[in-house]
Structure 1
Amino acid sequence: MKDIAKKVLSGDSRAIARLITLAENNDPSATNSMKDIHPHTGNAHVIGITGVMGSGKSTLIYELTRQYRKQDKTVGIIAIDPTSPFSGGALLGDRVRMMELTMDEGVFIRSMGTRGMLGGLASAVYDVVEILDASGKDVVIVETVGVGQAEVDIIKIADTTLVIIVPGLGDSIQTLKAGVMEIADIYVVNKADRDGVEQTVAEVESLVDITCSEKERKTPILSTIAKHG
């Protein structure tokens, strides 16, 4: 497996995809390759993005990636999808939405199924982040399947975590109250062209004020309309 590790380190997309598949399937042959690439990790900035379904996570990732590419930074995207009950594989909705990015050699996209794992992450995602990191990606973006008490696992892997909230979805705020407040480095109120955005921002600000002491840095709250870039 030395050859596949060398190819991953050189940024070979086929080798990256192959090693990811081996890691996902818990193939014993992946172990040595993961050991070989591990010393070359720790350079990528890992961004975790979580939010309720319909909050526009994929659109936001698409626009973020476009901005990074304008800065000539390479990007790896891991889209954690609900697992298909028929095949056990990922439902590839995110790949459909971000099809344009697949034509860019500086972007690598992989959809992964959770395969029943709680925490919003697939069990192999830690290995996949290392693979993309070792392959030379400047930024690795990880999108979870949703947001809730179980999705806090994202903080174990991300350098920066974005929690996406949408006006008009009461579940978003209720989720924050349920204990996800602690994981956010940045709150993003997406679809800010909707009615009720001011109220949503005010509610989030109130929750931030409650959870942060005066000496702590308050978590930033940004309003975006991702579909407009």
Structure 2
Amino acid sequence: MAYTKTTFNEGAAPGISAAELNKIGDGIAAAASTADSALSTAQSAQTTANTANTTANAALPASSYTAADVLAKVKTVDGAGSGLDADTVDGIQGANIITTTGGQTIAGSLRADGGFNVNGTQQAQTRLNGSVLEFWNGSGWTPVGGIKSVQRGTVNFPSNTSGTAFLDITISTVNTAKTFVNVGNLNNLQSFAGRVRFELINSTTIRAPYVNNGGAVDVTYEVIESY
């Protein structure tokens, strides 16, 4: 009930009566009741909060909520099909990733843009250029072995020479350190009476010293240059 204040005046109405005293008592009682109700409500809310806090701590104690605990829990559900994708790296299955130890089988091409080391020793970079094997020498590609070129021809040696003579034969430029000359067939061998040889004297010339006391003869040759 709402409390209506009464103003009392000395020696004048209203005087102190039972009704006025009861009104004061009723107001005090109403105020006390309201305060008690508010306190009860606050205590109930605190009890509810305490209960919720206790329940939360029991479900996941703060002392156990560490990075190690989270990792341990994740590991229990990790694996193929888990949705975590933790069995791949950037979407690549672990079985398709090359490790640094043990034997490895590679299906497809292996590309190395930098140096390639085996047991700590850098290996030469190689490639197939057509049918020629080449290696990188640091500034360019260099062929590795094999036949680079073959030049063939026929030389006629005159008959009945006096003493030793020679013929010079011009060829395409070769590397003298990687070239040799083969002597081929001698035509009209029956009439030949002497000797003949071929020698590479520079990068563009074969010299053929000969002695022939018989008939003229044709001799084939081949100049073979390797890489």
TM-score category of the 2 structures, normalised to the smaller one: under 0.3
Q: Which has the larger radius of gyration?
A: 2
Relative to its length, the structure with more strand (as a share) is 2
| Greater share of helix | 1
Which of the pair has the greater relative contact order for Cα pairs under 8 Å at 6+ separation?
Answer: 1
